[in-house]
Structure 1
Amino acid sequence: MNRKRIIVACGAGIATSTVVLDHLEELFAKEKQLVELIQCKISEVASMQDEADLIISTTILPTVYKIPAVSATAYISGIGMEKLDREIIRIINL
């Protein structure tokens, strides 16, 4: 099984993406998924997408990307977290 690369982005690449990154580390450990998490600013995502499998963003996605992209607002609000967990696991298992 290949290690999946996931970009975790927020406006500044620091605050909310760190919250999401921490949650994802726990999720992937629990699911025994091998992933590489890359934290960055949303403005950097377009130039990084060719080396990744999934984009998870806490901000509005400013463009359409070549790879799947999901909004992580559920992880910030606490509403719909389990549904988002399932969606992310589904995407990385494709």
Structure 2
Amino acid sequence: MSKEIKILVACGSGVATSTIAQQAVKEIAENAGIKVKIIKATIAEVPEKQKDVDLVLTTANYRNPLEKPYMSVFGLISGVNKAGAEKKLLELMKQIAEA
């Protein structure tokens, strides 16, 4: 898996929870040997910024249609089903890295 994955991490303000999620995503990727580049944004910026990434992650539910693979990573911040969120994210990143 040598392809670098570009990931958009978005939250309401583009600062608080996206920073926490960014660290969690970075750690999961590093432990799996997956190269990632993470871009942070606000939820409002997702429709435009998704064009520049391979994967969209948000800390809140996002209900609008997207062109890229999407996942809510609220569990990485809240701790609710954190292991399940980590597993799902890892599977998604592996699929994209191998594509």
TM-score of the pair, normalised by structure 1: 0.92
RMSD: 1.1
- The SS at the match of 2:33 is coil
Contact 1:53/1:92 (CA < 8 Å) preserved in 2?
no
Quick one: distance in 1 between partners of 2:3 and 2:11? 26
* Equivalent residue, structure 1, for 2:18: 17
After TM superposition, list the pairs within 5 Å mapping 1:8-87 onto structure 2: 8-87=9-88
Quick one: distance in 1 between partners of 2:5 and 2:23? 17
Runs of 4+ in 1 over 2 A off after TM superposition: none
Quick one: distance in 2 between partners of 1:84 and 1:62? 18
Quick one: distance in 2 between partners of 1:59 and 1:83? 16
Aligned partner of 2:38: which letter? L
Aligned length: 94
* Equivalent residue, structure 2, for 1:7: 8
Aligned partner of 1:4: which letter? I
Give the CA deviation at 1:27. Answer: 1.2
Aligned partner of 2:33: which letter? K
TM-score of the pair, normalised by structure 2: 0.87
